[in-house]
Amino acid sequence: MREVASAQDLVESLWHAGDKLVVVDFFSPGCGGCKALHPKICQLAEMNPDVQFLQVNYEEHKSMCYSLNVHVLPFFRFYRGAHGRLCSFSCTNATIKKFKDALAKHTPDRCGLGPTKGLEEKELLALAANKDLSFNYTPKPQPMPAPAVEEVGLAEVPPPHSILNLPLPLPSTLKSTQEIEDKTLVSAGR
């Protein structure tokens, strides 16, 4: 289990993990629940050598935790390759089964399609916007899809009357303007 030194360290650790499962443990040395749970998390880390366990000390990285919306401790996030964040939750000794279940669900070897994702775009932007952190991030420009060029020949354009396919009214059903005005005057009480 390795403690994260900075926001940059966290981002790079997730990026370099590739398709490996990464568990991020947000903790505080003064948190009773964190202290009680720590030996079990260490034991699970030893039992799962193919999983990378990272720790983020809340007391040393409050700004980063705030930017990542971590407000409850102990708090865990699971990440994998192109999938990015798989799940996040808080748990205690009493609810350690939640952690074990998430570990069992996400531990099987999986191959992600696409590049490693790591933190979500909004999380990276929040870290970059936080003036207390020395983390720089420039959003990657999203490529604009090129508009499809269609060549429409005259033979392909349907005739105007077939566009709506509505029946035309018969001449006997058309009412004169005078009939419509007479009914309007009667209904208005004139």
Sign of CA dihedral 101, 105, 108, 113: negative
Q: What SS3 state is found at 88? A: strand
CA dihedral 54, 59, 60, 64 (to 10 degrees): 70
Q: Among all residues, which ones are annotated catalytic?
A: 31, 34
β-partners of residue 90 are: 75
Sign of CA dihedral 30, 107, 81, 53: positive
Report the b/e string of 29-44 with b at 16+ CB within 10 A.
eebebbeebbeebeeb
Relative to beta strand 2-3, strand 52-57 is: parallel
Cis bond before residue 115 (omega within 30° of 0): no
Q: CA–CA distance from 16 to each of 82, 89, 116, 117 (Å)?
A: 12, 23, 8, 10
Q: Residue 111: which H helix or E strand, with range?
A: none
